[in-house]
Structure 1
Amino acid sequence: MTPLYLLLTFKICLDSHFIMYLAKLKENSRSGLPLHDVERFIFVLHGAVTVTSAHGESHILKVDSYAYFPPNFEHSIESDAPAIIVVFERRYAHLSNHVTEPLVNSTDKQPLLETPGEIFELRKLLPMSLAYDFNIHIMDFQPGEFLNVKEVHYNQHGLLLLEGESIYRLGDSWYPVQAGDVIWMAPFVPQWYAALGKTPTRYLLYKDVNRSPL
């Protein structure tokens, strides 16, 4: 089989606790495994892939579907036709008496969550239990909507704009962004977002959770 073809979407930041990349799968591609103790999350952007566990359980993932693989969980990702996925990997921060579980799901099956004081739509793709040391958010904004507060927090972010065009503020700098653009946000950097185009925007966001940043 053709090996999985990887395309880095942004340079690796030395202070980052995770990596994020696009994987362009050619026809009849098959992935390898991440390194020891590294967990993996994939989200389908184009086409379809099949994920299979070492026990032989298989699932077909289409656009907006995703899978989470715990550290040291044997699995494969295969494609019969060209496909594109975004991949997040990080070395798992173990917590006593807490264990993550593999999962397969799709964005449209996740409930909209309450966002007090805000008007955007929010879905969280991973369980919010202490076992998980990161989460992936899907955030939807209608044209003209924006974050009501300038955020500053300890969390790192990796963002991929899936639809539309907008503007992002990082520190004292302003960046126009459009579908396909990627942003890495360091801890404690002020950030703000506004959907400025004529169509809705959606982005996918990595976020550290449930672990001390120290």
Structure 2
Amino acid sequence: MILLTGFEPFGGESTNPSWAAAQRAAELLAAQGREAVAVEVPCVFGRSIEVLDAALAQFEPSIVVCVGQAGGRGSVSLERVAINVDDARIPDNAGNRPIDDPVVVSGPAAYFSTLPVKACREAVAALGIPVEVSQTAGTYVCNHLFYGLMHLLADRPGIRGGFVHVPFSSDQGAAHGQPGLAVEAMGEALAVVATTTAETAVDARVTAGAEH
């Protein structure tokens, strides 16, 4: 079973392409004969991890791909690392605005994704979809959920998981004068991330670093 999650709208937006893309990816995976489900999570510190934890218990997936919106980015971003800090520039959808709080008290400073991010980047790029390995998932609810996911999976051996950021949708990008990507392309990218993970035991040894 492959579990994909996407967020509800936040920050004044009426839609969140991460949720639409997660739903589309689940449809594409099901059409390939793979068991897949998409779950929407709230853009709320704490509660988002609770919803994810419940989904893990309900669906017992072997692969988890959490997805969030990164407005302003131009590529699908495969996140490499989650850090143990909440530092919110804007309030979440429940009005919470933590500053320098840990995601998990006494948790490790960081967790790495267990998705084969470099192999996934190569597979998505082969589709002609802009993609990168990202070295930061921010410090808002996306990183919060990513860290929470990896902390939950630390006690669930055999489940691989990680986080992917998607740009604004094409319509959002046009409205904001920012890069945008069609939701269909996002869904295709996420489906390939999931299938590549299922078929890749050891990540590709290719460069995907950054100078800054």
Both structures adopt the same fold (TM-score exceeding 0.5): no
Larger strand fraction of residues: 1
